């Protein structure tokens, strides 16, 4: 376990005990930022699903009403009209065979990858590079589509992806601490609704075991998740 500094330990002493309301957690995290930079606000869920069962996979996307505060680098694998549309929509990197070869070499200097269905025939071969980083385009998240312009625009506007890791946890950024508290609360509520909506059909038991709000360097608080 990492050893925390004096400032962190002082904040822990001030933290309210038990489970608190979302607005309380957001305000506490904002008021007790530890870093000199504008930290990212994060919300994390511990799910009760079995991550080893493919039918219990939890994954999806959420449009944050106030954006993520992060400049997102978008790569689009496409050719022809779809490539032109992606460029016009503001994609940072657009190409097909050339970009596929570049990624094969280990280049992953982007945050979102989008591909047309035709391009996916070759993009699938990049699984070992893109898969572990959560960058593989997927129809479920709207990143495999012929409508590249819309996909790029949504990602630029603040669409974020949530996906369960191999331990059954989901962690999603929902803004910067410089955001107004009410905007962070609205963003967080959008993610909570999205994760709740991602509950696998037929799942029995406690779906969301815990939900925690924190910042990049800060103390986390458990928050109340109302069903």
pLDDT digits (tens, 9 = 90+) for 165-178: 989 999 999 999 99
Average pLDDT, the chain: 92
Segment 116-129 mean pLDDT: 95
Element (H, E) at 152: helix 148-157
Map out the domains of the chain as residue ranges. Answer: 16-67+160-222, 74-157
| Residues 6 or more apart in contact with residue 138 via CB below 8 angstroms | 59, 144
Fold of 74-157: Rossmann fold (3.40.50)
Q: Are strands 169-176 and 159-163 parallel, antiparallel or unpaired?
A: unpaired
Cα separation values, 13 from 8, 9, 32, 213, 219, Å: 9, 6, 12, 17, 10
Element (H, E) at 196: helix 181-197
**Backbone conformation region of residue 209, classed left if phi is above 0, alpha if psi is from -120 to 50, else beta:** alpha
pLDDT digits (tens, 9 = 90+) for 140-163: 888 999 999 999 999 988 888 898
Percentage of residues in the chain with pLDDT exceeding 70? Answer: 98
Q: Per CATH, is 16-67+160-222 categorized as 3.40.50.720?
A: no
Would you say residue 120 has pLDDT above 80? yes
If pLDDT is split at 50, 70 and 90, which confidence band does 119 have? Answer: very high
């Amino acid at each position: 376990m990492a050893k925390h500094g004096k400032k962190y330990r002082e904040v822990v002493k001030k933290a309210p005990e038990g489970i608190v309301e979302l607005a309380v957690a957001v305000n506490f995290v904002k008021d007790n930022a530890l870093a000199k930079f504008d930290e990212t606000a994060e919300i994390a869920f511990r799910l009760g699903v079995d991550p080893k069962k493919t039918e219990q996979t939890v994954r999806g996307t959420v449009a944050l009403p106030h954006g993520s505060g992060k400049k997102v680098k978008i790569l689009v694998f496409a050719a022809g009209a779809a490539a032109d549309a992606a460029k016009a929509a503001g994609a940072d990197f657009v190409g097909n065979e050339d970009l596929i070869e570049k990624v094969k070499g280990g280049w992953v200097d982007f945050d979102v990858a989008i591909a047309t269905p035709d391009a996916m025939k070759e993009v699938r071969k990049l699984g070992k590079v893109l898969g572990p980083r959560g960058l593989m385009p997927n129809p479920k998240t709207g990143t495999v589509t012929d409508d590249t312009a819309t996909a790029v625009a949504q990602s630029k506007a603040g669409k974020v992806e949530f996906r369960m890791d191999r331990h059954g946890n989901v962690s999603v950024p929902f803004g910067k601490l410089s955001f107004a508290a009410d905007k962070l609360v609205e963003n967080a509520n959008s993610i909570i609704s999205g994760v709740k909506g991602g509950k696998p059909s037929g799942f029995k038991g406690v779906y969301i075991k815990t939900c925690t709000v924190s910042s990049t360097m800060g103390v986390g608080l458990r928050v109340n998740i109302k069903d």
